[in-house]
Amino acid sequence: MTDHSSRVRRAFAALVGLLVGFLAVFAAVAAPASAAPASSAPRAAGDVIDPNTAEESIAVWIRQTSDKAGIPGVGVTVIGDDFDQTFTTDAEGRVYVGLPGPGTYSVEVDEATIPAASGTLPDAASPREVRVAQTNKNVPANFLASTTAGGGAAAPAPDETGGSTPAPSNTDEATGAAPPSATTGGTGFWGVVATKLATGLIFGLLLALAAIGASLIFGTTGLNNFAHGELVTFGGLMAYTLASFGAPGWLGILGAIVLGGLFGLVQDTAIWRPLRRRRVGLIPLMIVSIGLALATRYVYVLFYGGDRLTLPNNPAPFLVLGPISLRFTDVFGAVIAIVVLLGVAYVMLRTKLGKAARAVADNAPLAAASGINVDRVIRFVWIGAGALAGLSGVLIAYYQALRWDTGSAILLLIFAAVTLGGLGSAFGALVGSLVLSVFMNLATLVLPENLKYAAALVVLILILLFRPQGILGRKERVG
Amino acid sequence: MNLNFVWLALGEALSPTTAAYALATIGLVVHFGFTGLLNFGQAGFMAVGGYAFAITTLKLDWPAPFAFLATIAAATLFALILGIPTLRLRADYLAIVTIAAAEIIRLSVKTAELTEITGGATGLNGAGRVFNELNPIPEGRYGFGVLTYTADQLWLRVFGWALVLLACLIVYLLIRSPWGRVIKGIREDEDAVRSLGKNVFAYKMQALIFGGILGGLAGALFILPRSLQPDNYGTQLTFFLYTIMLLGGATTVFGPVIGSMIFWVVLSLSDGLLSLGINSGILPLTTTQQGPIRFIIVGVALALLVVFRPQGLLGNKKEVFFNA
């Protein structure tokens, strides 16, 4: 046990170190923000495609914030694979762009062509990545120009964040992707690195919330819970539901935590505890969790549809530190995550329940023999895991996007983070999440953006091969 | 009331897709059912096979028989790359490594940088045309009622099911051979087999390669009637195969065939019944809500099967090894 607690203390030191480093990154790069991206000379690649006959198209609409009037004559450049075309908005401020195929396109507004009377776009608005799925027509890319300083901060329109992308395609590399606002970059190589570090750390904190629960469940019950992603999505969806009833943001977050915990409790009571009683093996349990994940995920589609859901969010930069530009929700999400993670650390280290949970994870029969009610501990672990996953879900929904598969898309990242940190160790999951997320984002310096998820999975495989006990895990026979 | 959907659903039992799923599941039975390898990356084997077939036929203009050989070679290579480092790992670790490897394949072929070779996110189209050049069946229409096939459609069905039956025969003979007894022994107790002087790692690798080749061929068969889409090879494809396997019986040779037929007939029937209910206003759903329901059915079925009937329809309860 002394070995265990010294490891825990080391982990705690690592956690504090990481959080301090997180702040240092902000301080280190507090250079003046760079100017808006320079408009490049007109380029053209690929053929102009008639938007009326194209299978996929983007609808760009540039308007003024004050009276929502379209701004005509603005140059818009759309860049994608083998496609690079410049267009001019029509009298209504609209332009329809036919595309050669699905994919991610960058839509950039030539700010020099916006009349001075109409003002400017918010810093983070252009260029914007627009994801177009197969047969998606008129995917919205709306821009609002305003004359107030600070861009659209004065009047953020709900559709400013990109609108909905219909079609439930099962793409998932959007996950762990940079949020729309934090990637404006521009002060050279180190600016890009700093931006990616910040993105990686924030996402890592959100991932950690989900990963800790998964790690505790694995530690106490031995279950690789393939339905953990659905707990994450559940939190986001509950916050979305509350928001659609007009609840303020804090109530949505609280609701996601409470309802997420309740979901965990219901799952344990209705499914996992009876299965433990039946002495069902670990492999069948894992397959049950897969079935549960599949069914739950599509129940979400049934009720919420396959489109992207948007929580009310202010896209304007809230904190600008050198090349890093963060929205209010990015900063607050990270702060909430840090506070909650410290709370979890306290519970795990100082309370009876946390000690009991660690004892069960260490050796369940021994814990039971020393008078710990193992079933009760596991029930609390499920409640805690559900609540943490729910919080992770709502924060991820604010950070990037919410869809029916938001959680399932990061499931393998959760597994990778848990494995990296050390299976069954709560602190390992936290360290693993941060390391993995930062690595993933820095990997995009040399890899194409959509391969970063694959890069994280390569890390997962390498760890399992060379250090299966993870960074903080205890050594045990795994093969 | 139009009841054509009943016939169409029954026709699903013989469709090339059903054959492809059956073939991939036979491969999975070799891995999981007979050797005890928890391979959650069978979708990756299918993707490797499908891409090998499509790239050799479409980009290199190879004739179909050589493309099938390339498919086998690619699946073997993937099995080696996957197996050499991972076959020593514990079962649940192996599951996570294989599922990750399958996702790496899917994400890598989708990258824009590889569009020249793999078609990027849009995939590749037209591999079936090369295959149809081999068609010996004269032009015309075959069958009856709504189940009428063109010569090419019939050829594809005949070929696909011949492949499935051939695979069943080989697996049946292999499992009854000394080799089969060894891999079943590995499934029950690896250490016991090792103590008899058998090279467990080599046997596991052979099983992984053999099942992987079946998965690869299934991937090629799968794209013959349709275009190759990278997103068809997501994790849920593997989960479908597990459902089929547990439905038919994880430790049986013909279970995957029965399982795949029942799986697809039930899915089509439920789709048809739902359409009927929605169009006549009995069910308070919209047509877009219809799609998810089949996945909910699969998920619930998978969970119930593994708990309440782990041996499947054809299996023997005594042989259920994974419930310990």
pLDDT digit string, tens, across residues A309-368: 888 877 777 888 777 888 888 888 899 999 999 999 999 889 999 999 988 988 888 999
Q: pLDDT tens for residues B66-88?
A: 999 999 999 999 999 988 888 87
Q: Which residues pair with A250 in a beta bridge?
A: none
Per-residue pLDDT at A473 exceeds 80 = no
Minimal C-alpha gap between A79 and chain B (Å)? 13
Position A438 scores a pLDDT of 92
B178-207: b or e for each residue (b if 16 or more CB lie within 10 Å)? eebebbbbbbeebeebeeeebebeebbbbb
Position A249 scores a pLDDT of 84
Position A424 scores a pLDDT of 65
Q: Which of A69-83, A122-136, A183-197, B185-199 has the highest mean pLDDT?
A: B185-199
User: Residue A287 and residue B104: Cβ atoms within 8 Å?
Assistant: no
Minimal C-alpha gap between A387 and chain B (Å)? 24
The answer to whether residue B324 sits within a structural domain is no
Q: Which residue has the higher pLDDT, A153 or A233?
A: A233
Position A270 scores a pLDDT of 94
Position A31 scores a pLDDT of 32
Q: Which residues pair with A75 in a beta bridge?
A: A88
Position B172 scores a pLDDT of 95
Position A46 scores a pLDDT of 56
CA separation for the pair A222, A478 (Å, rounded): 13
* Mean of pLDDT values over B201-226: 94
Please tell me whether the interface predicted TM-score (ipTM) of this complex is above 0.85: yes
What residue of A is the nearest CA neighbor of B93?
A464
Q: What is the CATH number of the domain that holds B31?
A: 1.10.3470
Q: Which of A329-343, B168-182, B272-286 has the highest mean pLDDT?
A: B168-182
Minimal C-alpha gap between B116 and chain A (Å)? 11
Number of domains observed in the structure of chain B: 1
Per-residue pLDDT at A476 exceeds 60 = no
Cβ-based contacts of A82 with chain B (< 8 Å)? 115
Spatial strand order of the sheet with A56-64 comes to A94-99, A56-64, A139-145
Q: Which of A102, A170, A299 sits opposite B122 (nearest CB)?
A: A102
As a whole-number percent, the residues of chain B with pLDDT over 70 amount to: 99
Q: Which residue has the higher pLDDT, A112 or B7?
A: B7
CA separation for the pair B302, A288 (Å, rounded): 7
User: Residue A465 and residue B85: Cβ atoms within 8 Å?
Assistant: yes
**Strand, helix or coil for residue B120:** helix
Please name which of A405, A419, A399 lies closest in space to residue A462, comparing C-alpha atoms.
A419
Tokens of B245: 């396997």
What's the distance, CA B193 to chain centroid? Answer: 29
Spatial strand order of the sheet with A128-132 comes to A83-88, A75-80, A103-109, A128-132
Please tell me the least confidently modeled range out of A144-158, A311-325, B24-38, B297-311.
Answer: A144-158
CA separation for the pair B223, A305 (Å, rounded): 29
Q: Which of B90, B99, B299 sits opposite A291 (nearest CB)?
A: B299
Average pLDDT, chain A: 77
The answer to whether residue B108 sits within a structural domain is yes
Residue A54 near chain B (CB below 8 Å): no
Q: Which residue has the higher pLDDT, A11 or A335?
A: A335
CB contacts under 8 A, B 259-278 vs A, are none
Q: Which residue has the higher pLDDT, B226 or A103?
A: B226
Q: Which residue has the higher pLDDT, B17 or A363?
A: B17
Position B113 scores a pLDDT of 81
pLDDT band at A288 (very low <50, low <70, confident <90, very high): very high
Tokens of B129: 């045309």
Position A478 scores a pLDDT of 45
Position B243 scores a pLDDT of 92
Q: Which of B96, B115, B289 sits opposite A81 (nearest CB)?
A: B115
What's the distance, CA A315 to chain centroid? Answer: 16
Cβ-based contacts of A81 with chain B (< 8 Å)? 112, 115, 120
User: Residue B296 and residue A295: Cβ atoms within 8 Å?
Assistant: yes
Query: What residue numbers bound the domain in which B308 lies?
Result: 4-319
* Mean of pLDDT values over A292-308: 91
Q: Which of B100, B231, B306 sits opposite A169 (nearest CB)?
A: B231
pLDDT band at A59 (very low <50, low <70, confident <90, very high): confident
Q: Which residue has the higher pLDDT, B303 or A51?
A: B303
| Structural domains present in chain A | 2-26+187-466 (no CATH), 56-161 (2.60.40.1120)
Q: A28: exposed, middle or buried (C-beta count within 10 Å: 0-12, 13-18, 19+)?
A: middle
Residues B193-199: contacts with CB within 8 Å, 24+ apart? none
User: Residue A280 and residue B323: Cβ atoms within 8 Å?
Assistant: yes
